[in-house]
Amino acid sequence: MSVRRIDPHAERARRNRLHPRHHEFARPAWRWTSADGVTRVNPHALGAIGPNGVKRIDRSGASVEANPAAASTSAEPARRQIVLDQPLGHIVVVPELPEGRLNDHDRDLFGLARQLADGHDLAVTAVTFLGGVAGFEEAGADRVVDLSARAGSGYDPVSRLAALVDVEAGLAPRHWIFADSLPDGGDLGRRLAARLSNQGANHGAGGARPATRVWQLSEGKTLSRAGDRQDILRDVARVLLALPECAEPVSETLHEARPIDLEALAETPRQAEVTTAAAGMVDRGRVAVDPQEIPLAQAPFILSAGRGVSDWEGYHHAARVLGASEGASRVAVDDGYMPRPRQVGATGTFVTASCYVAVGISGAVQHLQGIAKCQRVIAINNDPSCDMVKRADLALIADGDAVLAAVCRRLGQPREQTGSDGSWTDEESRHAAA
């Protein structure tokens, strides 16, 4: 007898459309892509039996199938495999890889590269300065060049530029695509465009000047934002600096991401040039920044509190210990515990944190809209059936105040109490509402 095993985490992600990994598990059983690239539809799999025994029709395919036979249809390959053995050229994408992984902006860059490469036998090549990065296959990369041994992880644009010049000499790509953000991709892309212009390379129809603030590729030309003026329409340049949402990320194909040994292609390594050029630049590391001074929309780590928090002094202490920016739900702001600029949600601030911790927040629809683009959500709540727990990647069903106190003790920075009333002695924890 065969027993059907169910992964509860996958089921939760599949049912929750706001989950950041929802697209990985929500492959509709009634529609799939066959090996020859044709979309197949099973009309018998549209209906599903709900928990109350009533048959419902969900044409989005997100409903849970009532029988194992219908679920077996989802075993069909959702993505067709693409293998490009002998490409006619390369389109190089230099992702930013914040925190060592692909973010949404990086995937948009690969989507833009696929628009330029598909139908022309061109390979989309990812150039990375970090080793061991996963996800290039799903993002749309046919080749991967690892330059982690040539440039350090700190701020060293001279060494990175020299490494990209070696990639230019070895692959001679048709186009270079960077993220138009400073000081990472925007700075490096402009440096490369200036170097190629000084070397007098063949820049094609687009010319040596880079195309900045690219947000769309239309009819063989690029559209670039120009402030209040009309968008700039021009031929596709060799160096493109693209904005977020410049293209749809790859979702229907799976690519090879074959590594390329750049040493085998390069005839004369330029290590001496890199050492000489980088001698006048010193990386003094990162500067410590108060998390509360970071704009909430740009904060990478947010510890947000709601009505379920009763020990606000302990909450502020935990935010300092964790180095997190403080956020709050609308209820906590209306009750006067947090200032209005710290409100998260559709009626407050939309956040894109890499990690969002919600303590005592039930998860109103406006709040869930505000955290839709957060990469990882952790919920701490007493109610296992609240919407925030359903949305979270990791949920702790416990008292929020107790969990935060336990975390501070585990990190070796517990909060001391004196007096019979248990009042806190640390005056730095007093929250400034201004």
Domain around 329: 291-429
Residue 161 sits in the same domain as residue 273: yes
* Predicted local confidence at residue 148, as pLDDT: 87
Residue 227 sits in the same domain as residue 338: no
* Predicted local confidence at residue 288, as pLDDT: 83
Examine residue 40 and state whether it is found in any structural domain, yes or no.
Answer: no
With cut-offs at 50, 70 and 90, classify the pLDDT of residue 157: confident
* Predicted local confidence at residue 426, as pLDDT: 44
Q: Which ranges of 219-299 would DSSP assign to H, the alpha helix? A: 262-265, 271-277
- Checking if the pLDDT of 67 tops 60, the result is no
Give 298-353 pLDDT, tens digit per residue.
899 999 999 999 999 999 999 999 999 999 999 999 999 999 999 999 999 999 89
* Predicted local confidence at residue 357, as pLDDT: 97
Integer Cα distance of 330 and 369 in angstroms: 13
Residue 125 sits in the same domain as residue 240: yes
Examine residue 345 and state whether it is found in any structural domain, yes or no.
Answer: yes
Residue 133 sits in the same domain as residue 211: yes
Examine residue 405 and state whether it is found in any structural domain, yes or no.
Answer: yes
With cut-offs at 50, 70 and 90, classify the pLDDT of residue 297: very high
What is the number of structural domains in the chain? 2
Integer Cα distance of 49 and 250 in angstroms: 32
- Checking if the pLDDT of 91 tops 90, the result is yes
What's CA 291's distance to the chain center, in Å? 21
Examine residue 270 and state whether it is found in any structural domain, yes or no.
Answer: yes
Give 408-429 pLDDT, tens digit per residue.
999 999 987 544 344 444 444 4
Give 372-390 pLDDT, tens digit per residue.
989 889 999 999 999 999 9
Which structure tokens are listed for 82? Answer: 């693409």
Give 139-153 pLDDT, tens digit per residue.
999 999 999 888 766
The larger pLDDT score, comparing residue 12 to residue 238, is at 238
Examine residue 2 and state whether it is found in any structural domain, yes or no.
Answer: no
Residue 257 sits in the same domain as residue 187: yes
* Predicted local confidence at residue 165, as pLDDT: 92
Q: Which residues contact 113 (CB under 8 A, 6 or more apart)?
A: 91, 93, 124, 140, 175, 177
Examine residue 50 and state whether it is found in any structural domain, yes or no.
Answer: no
Residue 314 sits in the same domain as residue 359: yes
Under 8 Å between Cβ of 309 and 406:
no
Integer Cα distance of 363 and 370 in angstroms: 10
Domain boundary among 280, 299, 322: 280
Examine residue 248 and state whether it is found in any structural domain, yes or no.
Answer: yes
Domain boundary among 222, 255, 280: 280
* Predicted local confidence at residue 434, as pLDDT: 35
Rounded to an integer, the average pLDDT of 60-81 is 49
Rounded to an integer, the average pLDDT of 1-13 is 65
First to last CA, the chain: 65
Integer Cα distance of 295 and 353 in angstroms: 11
- Checking if the pLDDT of 176 tops 60, the result is yes
**Residue found under tokens 């892509």:** 33
Give 353-366 pLDDT, tens digit per residue.
989 999 999 999 99
DSSP β-ladder status, 417-418 and 423-424: antiparallel
**Residue found under tokens 């730095």:** 428
Give 53-64 pLDDT, tens digit per residue.
565 655 554 443
The larger pLDDT score, comparing residue 136 to residue 55, is at 136
Residue 272 sits in the same domain as residue 298: no
Which structure tokens are listed for 336? Answer: 């006067």
Q: What is the mean pLDDT of the chain?
A: 80
Examine residue 34 and state whether it is found in any structural domain, yes or no.
Answer: no
Q: What is the CATH number of the domain that holds 375?
A: 3.40.50.1220
